């Protein structure tokens, strides 16, 4: 059984074309700035595989980084080719929902972590 929280209904740009919007099957809408997503890449080139230590230097990711291409990876993730040449990261839908930057999701994460 699929989880409506992590199953997208629609994926596309926001009306102004500056962010990626995902409308989830539970009617929540997540909007992501490109740089926010680029900095959260979890591929082996961006995160040390065994320790989880970040390898990507955030200071070297331009503020105006943007996706050249967004593609579905199976039925579970999105893959991006970025304007900085990076293209190996896969963003599973559950991770995208987990990192939703909206105020409601930030508050829920804080509540869950006890902060």
In this prediction the pTM is 0.91
69 bridge partner residues: 81
CA distance linking residue 112 with residue 25, whole number of Å: 22
**Mean residue pLDDT across the chain:** 95
pLDDT of 30 strictly over 90: yes
pLDDT of 76 strictly over 90: yes
CA proximity to 89, closest of 112, 63, 114, 55: 55
pLDDT of 98 strictly over 60: yes
pLDDT, position 113: 86
What integer is the mean pLDDT of 19-44?
97
Give the CATH number for residue 39.
3.30.2020.30
Provide the pLDDT confidence category of residue 102 given band limits of 50, 70 and 90: very high
CA proximity to 80, closest of 112, 50, 37: 37
**Domains in the chain: how many in total?**
1
pLDDT of 1 strictly over 50: no
What integer is the mean pLDDT of 20-29?
97
Range of the domain at 21: 4-113
């Amino acid at each position: 059984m699929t989880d409506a929280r992590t199953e997208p209904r629609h994926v596309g740009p926001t009306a102004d074309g500056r962010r990626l919007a995902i409308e989830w099957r539970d009617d929540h809408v997540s909007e992501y700035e490109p740089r926010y997503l680029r900095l959260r890449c979890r591929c082996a080139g961006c995160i040390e595989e065994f320790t989880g230590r970040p390898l990507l230097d955030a200071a070297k990711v331009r503020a105006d980084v943007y996706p050249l291409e967004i593609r579905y990876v199976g039925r579970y993730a999105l893959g991006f080719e970025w304007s900085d040449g990076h293209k190996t990261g896969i963003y599973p839908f559950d991770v995208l929902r987990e990192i939703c930057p909206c105020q409601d999701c930030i508050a829920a994460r804080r509540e869950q972590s006890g902060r």
